[in-house]
């Protein structure tokens, strides 16, 4: 079959993108290396859209949860991934969990049977010079990864993430924390949380005792890069190590005492909206529950709400805010788009959703049209805006969808109603955007 566009990678994003393009009448060559003699360290089968770990698509609550809202928007866009997930749902309370075998089999069948898709079991090692979407995921084959790094610059493709927790700004207690930069240099750009000596000692003891996530066998050679050492590894080296590293208090006068605290935790703005702040230097392999418990012992963070918890994994992702335009095109080679986790979104659902967007942008372009991106008030639009420019390129690390990626709704809502305020506004914005799409699409 001649094709109009090639998709590389038949995971969550590539399968979804192939389906969306094919449904729009575009002929697709879907190149997937599994089943052609290659595999990744995490996949066990040759099926498309294999879920490599948990069988959950997380919360399905579209009223109070950002990923639930994303589910709904994807369903409204005819998502194959969501349709197959709904079809093979297993009981999981308000979460959407699936029978992974049946789910992947269903996606594979639907994609393979589509008359506009040719699934080719082949590994791709070079960047194509025709229209393409690269959706090769966190474990992109080495040859293609090299080709991407050559095109984008070595420092623009990461092979490991080193994620520090991200906190919603409005959950920090500013009666305890304060804004300042070290030695008052530049603007008051950091949130500073002060610890006294007993608090610091308790914190170090908690880090040392906290349960950690083990590395997988194939991740054991994970290098700890300069400046990316997990905090618990630093704490193990001695009780003073953190106080001379990311928790250094020098030059930070606490306005409430007029003195430097014994130790400090700094948070730095992480998105252009100013709603999300990352804990500087706090990348960690602590288990998620432990992170919440231990980090809430930090003065000022007692009620912290985390948009993302820390982690360190093998994960290929590009510096999208720097490299991609608003339509997910590589600025240096605009016939190539990226989709899925390689863009720096995180998770099955987010990856598939970015597959939808890449496909729809590409389909519009092949028709000679331009698709307006979904508004930033929607889950899809917020994730897209974050990846393609809202995130700070300097500290870019993978991100799940969350309300902190959206501008805060106007007016004051009670805490209990805030999430509903986000989703009510998102539904209206999404419906209007969808309507504008229908006008744009040929009858």
Residue ranges of the alpha helices (H) in 210-347? 231-236, 288-295, 320-323
Could you tell me the smallest distance in angstroms from the CB atom of residue 111 to ligand FAD?
A: 12
Q: What is the DSSP string of 131-153?
A: SEEE---TT--HHHHHHHHHHH-
Q: How far is the CB of 137 from ligand FAD (least distance, A)?
A: 2
Give, as one character, the DSSP assignment of residue 425.
Answer: H
Beta pairing, strands 276-279 & 263-269: antiparallel
Q: Whole-angstrom Cα distance, residue 205 to residue 372?
A: 51
Tell me the residue nearest to ligand FAD as measured from the CB: 11
Q: How far is the CB of 6 from ligand FAD (least distance, A)?
A: 10
Sign, CA torsion 37/42/44/45:
negative
Minimum distance between the CB of residue 422 and ligand FAD, rounded to whole angstroms?
21
Q: Which is nearer to ligand FAD, 20 or 140 (CB)?
A: 140
Q: Are strands 263-269 and 157-163 parallel, antiparallel or unpaired?
A: unpaired
Beta carbon of residue 313, minimum distance to ligand FAD (angstroms, whole number): 6
Residues near ligand FAD, by CB under 6 A: 8-14, 31-34, 40, 42-43, 52-54, 123-124, 135-141, 144, 340-342, 347-348, 351
Least CB distance from residue 121 to ligand FAD, whole Å? 9
Q: Please, what is the minimum distance in Å from the beta carbon of residue 162 to ligand FAD? A: 15
CB-based contacts of 39: which residues, under 8 Å, 6+ apart?
33
Distance of alpha carbon 397 from the chain centroid? 7
Give φ, ψ of 90 to 5 degrees. Answer: -120, 155
Q: Which CB sits closer to ligand FAD, 33 or 273?
A: 33
Toward ligand FAD, which CB reaches closer, 75 or 248? 75
Q: Between 43 and 322, name the residue whose CB sits nearer to ligand FAD.
A: 43
Least distance CB 101 / ligand FAD (angstroms): 15
Of 70 and 247, nearer to ligand FAD (C-beta) is: 70
* Length of the chain counted residue by residue: 443
Return the number of the residue (169 or 386) whose C-beta is nearest ligand FAD: 386
Cβ distance 232 to 283 under 8 Å?
A: no
Residue 392: Cβ within 10 Å count: 15
The phi, psi pair for 68, rounded to 5°, reads -65, -40
What's the alpha-carbon Rg for the chain, to the nearest Å?
Answer: 22
Give whichever of 33 and 172 is closer to ligand FAD, judged by the CB atom: 33
Q: Closest distance between ligand FAD and the C-beta of residue 14, in Å?
A: 5
Return the number of the residue (120 or 280) whose C-beta is nearest ligand FAD. Answer: 120
CB of 180 closer than 8 Å to CB of 192: yes
Q: What is the DSSP letter of 271?
A: B
Distance CA 276, CA 307 (A): 7
- Residue 438 sits at φ, ψ, to 5 deg, of -65, -40
Max Cα distance, the chain (Å): 73
Give whichever of 42 and 292 is closer to ligand FAD, judged by the CB atom: 42
The CB-of-274 to ligand FAD minimum distance in angstroms stands at: 27
**Residue 192 vs 341, nearer CB to ligand FAD:** 341
**Ramachandran class of 341: left when φ > 0, alpha when ψ lies in -120 to 50, beta otherwise:** alpha
């Amino acid at each position: 079959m001649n094709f109009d566009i090639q998709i590389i990678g038949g995971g969550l994003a590539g399968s979804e993108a192939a389906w969306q393009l094919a449904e729009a009448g575009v002929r697709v060559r879907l190149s997937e290396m599994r089943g052609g003699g290659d595999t990744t360290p995490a996949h066990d089968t040759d099926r498309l859209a294999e879920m490599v770990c948990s069988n959950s698509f997380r919360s399905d609550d579209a009223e109070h949860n950002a990923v639930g809202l994303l589910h709904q928007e994807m369903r409204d866009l005819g998502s194959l991934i969501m349709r197959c997930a709904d079809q093979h749902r297993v009981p999981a309370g308000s979460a959407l969990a699936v029978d992974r075998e049946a789910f992947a089999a269903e996606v594979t069948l639907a994609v393979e049977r589509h008359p506009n898709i040719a699934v080719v079991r082949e590994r791709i090692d070079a960047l194509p010079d025709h229209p393409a979407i690269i959706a090769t995921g966190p474990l992109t084959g080495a040859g293609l990864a090299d080709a991407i790094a050559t095109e984008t610059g070595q420092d623009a493709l990461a092979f490991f993430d080193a994620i520090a927790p991200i906190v919603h700004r409005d959950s920090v207690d500013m009666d305890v924390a304060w804004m300042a930069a070290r030695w008052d240099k530049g603007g008051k750009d950091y949130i500073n949380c002060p610890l006294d000596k007993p608090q610091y000692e308790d914190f170090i003891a908690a880090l040392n005792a906290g349960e950690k996530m083990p590395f997988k066998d194939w991740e054991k050679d994970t290098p700890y890069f300069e400046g990316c050492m997990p905090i618990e590894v630093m704490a193990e080296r001695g009780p003073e190590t953190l106080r001379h590293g990311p928790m250094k208090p020098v030059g930070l006068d606490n306005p409430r005492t007029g003195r430097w605290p014994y130790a400090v935790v700094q948070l730095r703005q992480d998105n252009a909206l100013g709603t999300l702040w990352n804990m500087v230097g706090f990348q960690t392999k602590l288990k998620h529950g432990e992170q919440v418990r231990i980090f809430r012992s930090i003065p000022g963070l007692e009620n912290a709400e985390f948009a993302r918890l820390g982690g360190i994994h093998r994960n290929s992702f590009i510096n999208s805010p720097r490299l991609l335009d608003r339509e997910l095109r590589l600025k240096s080679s605009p016939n190539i788009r990226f989709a899925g986790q390689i863009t720096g979104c995180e998770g099955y659902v987010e990856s598939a959703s970015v597959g939808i967007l890449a496909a729809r942008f590409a389909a519009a372009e092949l028709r000679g049209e331009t698709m307006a991106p979904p508004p930033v008030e929607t889950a899809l639009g917020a994730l897209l805006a974050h990846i393609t420019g809202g995130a700070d390129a300097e500290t870019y690390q993978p991100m799940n969808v969350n309300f902190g990626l959206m501008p805060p709704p106007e007016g004051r809502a009670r805490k209990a109603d805030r999430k509903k305020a986000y989703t009510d506004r998102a539904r209206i914005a999404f419906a209007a955007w969808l309507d504008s799409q229908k006008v744009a699409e040929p009858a």
